[in-house]
Structure 1
Amino acid sequence: MTASGIYVYGIVGGSHRLPPGAVGVGEPPAPVRLLPVEDLAVVVSAAYPGLRARRRDLMAHQGLLMALAETGPVLPMRFGMVAPDEATLLAGVATHGSEHAAVLERLDSRIEMNIKITPVQDNLAALIREDPVVRGIREEARRHPGYEANVRLGEAVAAGLRRRAAVAAARLPAEFAGIADDTCSGPEVEGCVLNASFLVPRREEGRFRGVAERFAAVHTDRLDLRVNGPLPCYSFVVPEPVPARA
């Protein structure tokens, strides 16, 4: 299949080496190479028409970034970044070389950990005890039952459960003081009251997980907490640091 552009995985230091047998996205998986540019290098492969966000390719992209991060910092690109040609890519990286070098220094020996929190959906008794608004709507629905009353009660319960979870979730970032170097709010996710990423020293991953697990256990009646990671540090780099088309 004919290549169409340069697929970009990330930027590394000029002395960084590729993992043995490194391959990237595509079918068959494309060989990966380094393009030197001043004191940096860009991790690339050939890009092919029709590339889609299939699980195999998403995992290949992320797996390569995580393997690279085992031996040094990586400024990661999100899946699907394609530069039109080498000259355009290298010129763009060189223009912001000092900024990229500063980001790499900041990301050295660090990982991204993501936490998503959703409300517990089956603790109606506690909600009614604590929330006078929901309690009043429930009493009204009992006095005047009907479809509209049930709908109103259902909406009030959903909103109340979300409020309880959100109040508890707001306390979580402070729990990581002294562990995470930075935090970043992620995009809204349906059903979540918190979607946040944390920049964590690699050596602190176990401690981070322990804090998250204890927090979840304390608030088990209010929220469900999911930890994702380690991840490439997508949330802590400047968006689109190289000239590319998504």
Structure 2
Amino acid sequence: MSGNDVYVYAIIPAGQALPPGAVGVGSPAAALRLVDEGRVTAVVSAAPPQLRARRRDLMAHQEVLQRLTDTGPVLPMRFGTVAPDDESVRAQLARSQAEHRTTLSHLRGGVEFNLKALPAQDALAAVVAEEKNVRRLREAVRRRPGYEANVRLGEAVSAALSRRAAEAGRKILHELTPLARETAPGPEVHGCVLNVSFLVDRSRGDSFRTTVQRFADRHRDHVELRVAGPLPCYSFVSSRPQRTPVAGG
């Protein structure tokens, strides 16, 4: 990276102020500033000379986005978005100004919640009580223990846990969708039967979390639900500026 490189955190509407006291990536932490172009603004700082995906910088990037989200709509950049200079940032803002304004208008007043559903932990007793095939295989193992019988039983339990979790995942998705403006499926995550994000009005955030918790309490023998949010609306932004690769470290 050159000495003029600019680290880009987000795009916000023109006139939206920086959070007081917020600082950016790097050590020492870089001061935040604004690069304006028309009716949109980029939140930037000087880019560290050797940017890596270190915990301190990842957390600083996320903290800036979270605090910006608390004050207005934010088009968030992924960690590691770097431009050669301010003029490059302005040029990108000018090229995509109409798109950025449309996206910011769509996100105004909204936050993202992510929901992951996993097979319930410690639900063997419920599986045995409610799944005839599992009961049959367990009785077979008791009558005639052996490696193959144990494998069949383990496979049946695993399949039942996943199926029950998937059924519960479909139900909670049906309950939560009316609370959201929009939903976006996430990538497959090992061990999860459901990974989906919701664009939710900030005013409905507590209701969203309460609905998740009540469902989890009622279906604890079927599914484990993990909800994260409110978050910056990564999943509901269609395009972003190009970024430089960032190595782990």
TM-score, L = length of structure 1: 0.91
Deviations 1:156-210 (A, max 9, x none): 2112101101111111122124421111111122211111111111111111111
Q: Give 3-state SS (helix, strand or coil) of 2:49's partner.
A: coil
Provide structure 2 residue ranges, at least 5 long, that are not aligned to the other structure.
none
CA distance in 1, matches of 2:68, 2:151: 52
Provide structure 1 residue ranges, at least 5 long, that are not aligned to the other structure.
none
CA distance in 2, matches of 1:30, 1:2: 16
Q: What is the aligned partner in structure 2 of residue 64 from structure 1?
A: 64
Quick check: 91-100 or 23-32, which moved more?
Answer: 91-100
Match status 1:242 vs 2:203: no
1:113·1:198 contact (CA, 8 Å) conserved in 2?
yes
Q: What is the aligned partner in structure 2 of residue 226 from structure 1?
A: 226
After TM superposition, give the deviation of residue 143 of structure 1 in Å.
Answer: 4.2
Matched AA of 1:80 = G
Quick check: 66-75 or 27-36, which moved more?
Answer: 66-75
Deviations 1:90-130 (A, max 9, x none): 22222111111011001111111111221113222322343
CA distance in 2, matches of 1:114, 1:23: 26
After TM superposition, give the deviation of residue 2 of structure 1 in Å.
Answer: 6.8
2:169·2:194 contact (CA, 8 Å) conserved in 1?
yes
Matched AA of 2:198 = F
CA distance in 2, matches of 1:191, 1:151: 19
Q: What is the aligned partner in structure 2 of residue 105 from structure 1?
A: 105
- CA RMSD of superposed structures (Å): 2.0
Show the 5 A alignment for 1:110-189.
110-189=110-189
Match status 1:208 vs 2:208: yes
CA distance in 1, matches of 2:133, 2:93: 56
Q: Give 3-state SS (helix, strand or coil) of 1:176's partner.
A: helix
Identity %: 53
CA distance in 2, matches of 1:69, 1:125: 44
CA distance in 1, matches of 2:143, 2:89: 69
Deviations 1:50-109 (A, max 9, x none): 322222222211111121122221100111212233333322222111111011001111
- Provide runs of 4+ in structure 1 moved above 4 Å: none
2:179·2:208 contact (CA, 8 Å) conserved in 1?
yes
CA distance in 1, matches of 2:196, 2:130: 27
1:89·1:242 contact (CA, 8 Å) conserved in 2?
no
CA distance in 2, matches of 1:44, 1:103: 19
Q: What is the aligned partner in structure 2 of residue 88 from structure 1?
A: 88
Q: Give 3-state SS (helix, strand or coil) of 1:170's partner.
A: helix
CA distance in 1, matches of 2:107, 2:196: 18
CA distance in 2, matches of 1:36, 1:111: 24
- Count of matched residue positions in the alignment of Structure 1 and Structure 2: 245
2:177·2:183 contact (CA, 8 Å) conserved in 1?
no
CA distance in 2, matches of 1:187, 1:216: 22
Quick check: 161-170 or 188-197, which moved more?
Answer: 188-197
Quick check: 202-211 or 56-65, which moved more?
Answer: 56-65
1:89·1:243 contact (CA, 8 Å) conserved in 2?
no
Q: 1:145 to 1:4 in 2, by over 3 A?
A: farther
2:25·2:48 contact (CA, 8 Å) conserved in 1?
no
1:75·1:103 contact (CA, 8 Å) conserved in 2?
yes
CA distance in 2, matches of 1:37, 1:243: 18
CA distance in 2, matches of 1:139, 1:93: 67
